[in-house]
A and B are shown apart, each in its own frame.
Chain A
C-alpha cells in the first residue's frame, strides 16, 4: 500500500480521540508522572505528554502483558475441567510510540507468529492499532539509526504522525488498519501541503556503529570471556533492562491454584536473572553474570536477526536509561565493534 499523506491540526486530536473511544477503543498513550513518562490508558490528548525523548517503559504490554492468563481450570472430584471461553481483547489504540518502538512491535510479531502461532499474542495484535509519532529530538542513549531504523521510520506504525513547526501534525497513513482509523474521522484530516519536508523536521541522529556488521563482529567475540566479564562486572543481575525493553519477550509459566479453581499464567522473565536457565538437577548452563550478559547481547544482535531476519534491538536506549548500574548498551556495542576478532 502506498503511503498517503494528510495533515491534522493539534486542536483536532481531541475529536479524533473521542471518535476512537466511541468506537470502543481503549487508548494507551504516554503520560507524565513526575520525572517519568509511561504508557497509560487515557481518554483525551490533554493527558498525553508530547515533549519528551522516550518513555521509561515500552508499550509492549498492549500486546504482551506482564501477567497474562493462559488457561483456567476447575477441579471437581477426580475430574479436571479446562475453562472454554471466548477471548475478546478490547480494541486498543497505542498512540505516541516512537518509530523505534514500532520497529520493535514488528520483531515481537515475528517471534509470536513464526512457526507456532501464539493465540494469546495474536488475538491482542489483531485488535491493536499503532499510531506513532516521529522523533524531533533524541538523546545520548538513542541509536536507532545504528540498528536499521531512523527517527521518522514508518515501519510498524499503522499511522505515523510527524510534529510540524506550527504544532500540527503530518499524517502518514501506512497500512489498511491505519486507513480505517483515519477514515473513521475523515473530516478531521486535510490534505498535506506538498512542500512539507519531513526529513528536515526529524531529529538528527548519526550512525554510531554499522548495524549490518554487528552480527559478524559479535559472533567473533563469543569466546572472549575477558570482554564479557569486563563489561558485566558492574551488572547486578536484575531484570530492569528486559522489562523496559520493547523487544524482550522472555516469559515464564506459573500455575496458581486456589482450592478447586486455578489458573496458568504467563509472566515476564529475564535471561539476566541468575536462575533463568537452572535445571532441576542443579546444573546451570549460564551460571555466571558474564554468560548471561553475553546471551543478552548475542540474542539481540546475532541470534534474533539470524533466526527471524528482524532486529533484536531497535536502539531506543531505554535499558541504558533505566539501568541502576549504568550498563549503557550503546557503549558496550561500540566496544565490541572496535574489538579485534
Chain B
C-alpha cells in the first residue's frame, strides 16, 4: 500500500497526473473510488482484494477529465478498459497515465499506452469461474427455459441504468434510450421496455465488453445482467477469435469491415 501511495505522490509531483484515481476506504469496510489531486492526500489510497469496482468509468466522466491529466491504478480489467477506450479514440497518452496493479499489490508503471498494450498482450484473462459456470448452465437450457429464466430475472428490472452508468464502455453522451425521434427503446420498465433495453445493451457491447462484471455488481437488484454481456464476449471469442481490450487498433468485429471477411452477403 505504501508503494501505491508513494507512486501517487510521484505522479502528482512530476505532473504525470493532475488527479490520481484509485481506491480509498469507504463505508463499512467497503472500498470506494477516490480522486487524489494533492500529494498530501495520497495516504488515503488503499488496495486489497475487495477492490473490484472498474475505475475506468471515471476516465470518461467530464467532471474528472476537467481536473486535468488522469492517473489511474489499474487492475487487469481496468488495463483492458484503457486499451479499449484508446482503440475507440476516447483516450490518448495526453489524457491518462496508467499504473498497473497486480493481484499481490505490486505495481507496473507504464510509460505510455503502447507499453500498456504490450503488457496486456502477455496476460491471459479468465472470466470469473462462477460467472462462466452460470453462462454454461444457461446455454444448456432449452430455448423455452432460457426465455422463462430471463423473463423472470428482467421482470424485476426498474430501468435505473446503473448497469449502463457503471460501464466504462457506455460513454455515449446521448444513449440510444434517450433518443425519442424515433423512440427506439421504450422508456417505461415494462416487459418490452426491459427486454429491449437489455438486448440493446448487450448488442452494443459485443466485442467491447472486457468482462469485469461491474454491471452485475452495480445492479441494486442483484440481477445477473453481466451474464448477457459476458456471453456476448464469449461469442466474440468463439465466432471471431476476438477479445476486447487487447489491441490499440480498432478491430472490433462489429465495428470494422475487411474485404476478406468470410461472410459473403456484402461483396
Asked if A and B touch directly (CB within 8 angstroms), the answer is: yes
B interface, CB within 8 angstroms of A? 26-28, 30-35, 53, 57-58, 61-64, 156, 158-162, 164-166, 173-174, 178, 183, 186-190, 193, 214, 217-222
> A229-B63, A240-B160 known; A325 and B32 CB under 8 Å?
yes
> Which residues of the other chain, A, contact B34 by a CB distance below 8 angstroms?
234
Cβ 8 A contact of B187, one of A36, A229, A267: A267
The reply to whether B220 and A324 contact each other, CB–CB distance below 8 Å, is yes
> Which residues of the other chain, A, contact B218 by a CB distance below 8 angstroms?
236, 238, 240, 324
Please name 11 further chain A to chain B contacts, defined as beta carbons within 8 Å, in addition to the given A238-B164, A273-B161, sorted by A numbering. A67-B190, A234-B35, A236-B61, A236-B218, A238-B161, A254-B187, A254-B188, A324-B162, A324-B166, A324-B220, A326-B27
Q: List residues 187-240 of chain A with CB under 8 A from any CB of chain B.
A: 229, 232-234, 236-240
The reply to whether A325 and B63 contact each other, CB–CB distance below 8 Å, is no
Cα–Cα distance between A267 and B186 once the two chains are bound (Å): 11
**Nearest-Cβ distance from residue B175 to partner chain A, whole angstroms:** 9
The reply to whether B33 and A325 contact each other, CB–CB distance below 8 Å, is yes
> Is A178 located at the chain interface by the 8 A CB criterion?
no
The reply to whether B165 and A237 contact each other, CB–CB distance below 8 Å, is yes
The reply to whether B27 and A328 contact each other, CB–CB distance below 8 Å, is yes
A interface, CB within 8 angstroms of B? 34-36, 38, 56-57, 66-67, 140-141, 229, 232-234, 236-240, 242-244, 252, 254, 256, 265, 267-268, 270, 273-275, 288-290, 320, 322-326, 328, 331
> A275-B174, A324-B166, A328-B26 known; A56 and B63 CB under 8 Å?
no
> Which residues of the other chain, B, contact A275 by a CB distance below 8 angstroms?
174, 178
> A233-B64, A243-B220, A328-B27 known; A66 and B33 CB under 8 Å?
no
The reply to whether A238 and B63 contact each other, CB–CB distance below 8 Å, is no
The reply to whether A265 and B161 contact each other, CB–CB distance below 8 Å, is no
Cα–Cα distance between A80 and B148 once the two chains are bound (Å): 37
The A-B contact count (CB < 8 A) is: 110
Top 8 A-B pairs, shortest CB-CB distance = A324-B218, A238-B165, A322-B220, A267-B188, A238-B162, A326-B32, A236-B165, A239-B160
**Nearest-Cβ distance from residue B233 to partner chain A, whole angstroms:** 21
Cα–Cα distance between A289 and B161 once the two chains are bound (Å): 15
Cα–Cα distance between A141 and B28 once the two chains are bound (Å): 9
**Nearest-Cβ distance from residue B142 to partner chain A, whole angstroms:** 24
The reply to whether A331 and B162 contact each other, CB–CB distance below 8 Å, is no
The reply to whether A36 and B188 contact each other, CB–CB distance below 8 Å, is no
The reply to whether B188 and A233 contact each other, CB–CB distance below 8 Å, is no
The reply to whether A36 and B222 contact each other, CB–CB distance below 8 Å, is yes
The reply to whether A236 and B166 contact each other, CB–CB distance below 8 Å, is yes
Cα–Cα distance between A328 and B31 once the two chains are bound (Å): 12
The reply to whether B186 and A254 contact each other, CB–CB distance below 8 Å, is yes
Cα–Cα distance between A57 and B223 once the two chains are bound (Å): 13
From A140, A229, A320, A324, name the one whose CB has the most chain B CB atoms within 10 angstroms: A324
Select from chain B the residue with minimum beta-carbon distance to A320: B27
From B160, B166, B183, B219, name the one whose CB has the most chain A CB atoms within 10 angstroms: B160
> Which residues of the other chain, A, contact B190 by a CB distance below 8 angstroms?
67
> Which residues of the other chain, B, contact A140 by a CB distance below 8 angstroms?
27-28
Cα–Cα distance between A240 and B63 once the two chains are bound (Å): 20
Cα–Cα distance between A36 and B183 once the two chains are bound (Å): 33
**Nearest-Cβ distance from residue B33 to partner chain A, whole angstroms:** 4
The reply to whether B220 and A288 contact each other, CB–CB distance below 8 Å, is no
The reply to whether B27 and A66 contact each other, CB–CB distance below 8 Å, is no
Cα–Cα distance between A254 and B180 once the two chains are bound (Å): 10
The reply to whether A270 and B160 contact each other, CB–CB distance below 8 Å, is yes
The reply to whether B220 and A56 contact each other, CB–CB distance below 8 Å, is yes
Select from chain B the residue with minimum beta-carbon distance to A33: B222
> Which residues of the other chain, B, contact A274 by a CB distance below 8 angstroms?
173
The reply to whether B160 and A243 contact each other, CB–CB distance below 8 Å, is yes
The reply to whether B35 and A233 contact each other, CB–CB distance below 8 Å, is yes
Select from chain A the residue with minimum beta-carbon distance to B191: A67
Cα–Cα distance between A47 and B26 once the two chains are bound (Å): 34
